[in-house]
Amino acid sequence: MKRVLVVVGIGVALLGLAVLAFFVWQGRAASDPAFFESEIRAFEAADATAPPEPGGILFVGSSSIRFWDTLAEDMAPLPVVRRGFGGAHMEHVLHNARRIVIPYAPRAVVVFVGGNDIGAGKSAEHVLRGFREFVDLLHAELPEADVWLLSMKPSKLRWGSWSEMARVDEGLRALAEADPRVRFVETGRTLLGPDGEPDDVYVFDGLHLNAEGYRRWTAVLRPLLMAAYGPDAGSGHAGSFSR
């Protein structure tokens, strides 16, 4: 019994150190737009060898995009490019947009980011300013591309910050309603259970989605993208579909 208690104690201590390291890492990332430079260079190196075809659908954002390993399969036959990295904040996406978004000349850009910002203590207003700047950049550099904004994710780990994330969602919805080239997609609430709290759609850390979580995202998003860009699409403009 004593040995078991020692092992449990060591496990708890290691978990505590891991959590502490995570928050220290997040704090450093929050204040440095170039924090994920090594991952951006890895994308560029891959592009130099096998550049994606222009005109695809670019998914960019934080680790929920980075870990979406089944994205190409989930969105088939639509051509997709996955550029999720690190624990990105909107500042990181904006800082690197001219390197991992603009060069691909995508037909549409799907972005999921903001949860790490709120988790690091940034306000909804701060996050929304970054989104508006990002959309303005895309309109200027990719005037024919549509922008799809995925809603915040109600994770177990950050459930205490959900009210602030909901304020981000309100702002993103307003941004889409005012711009015919922008679409807001409510992917977050599909991750809630019947009791209105985070459902069992997360891996052990309570933050990142499991296969069921990605299945629910796909069930919401794929039909919309297919309607806009699939073989039977009409105009192909996000603004031509009801919100």
Listed by start position, the domains of the chain span 1-31, 36-233
pLDDT, residue 7, reads: 52
**Distances 114 to 2, 6, 208, 212 between C-alpha atoms, Å:** 45, 39, 14, 22
Please say whether the beta carbons of 107 and 229 come within 8 A.
Answer: yes
| Token representation of residue 14 | 């290691």
| Token representation of residue 192 | 């809630």
Average pLDDT, 10 consecutive residues per value, the chain (243 residues): 57 46 56 93 97 97 98 98 98 98 98 97 98 98 98 97 98 98 97 97 97 98 98 58 31
Scanning the structure block, which residue is given the tokens 């060591």?
10
The region that residue 234 occupies, defined by phi over 0 for left and psi between -120 and 50 for alpha, beta otherwise, is: alpha
45 φ, ψ (degrees, to nearest 5)? -65, -40
pLDDT, residue 237, reads: 45
What is the residue-wise DSSP string for 39-70?
HHHHHHHHHHHSPPPTT-EEEEESHHHHT-TT
Q: What 3-state DSSP class applies to 29?
A: helix
Cα–Cα distance for residue pair 40/88, rounded to 1 Å: 11
What class does CATH assign to 36-233? alpha beta
152 φ, ψ (degrees, to nearest 5)? -65, 160
Task: Please tell me the chain's helix, strand, coil percentages from 3-state DSSP, rounded to the nearest 5.
Answer: 55, 10, 35
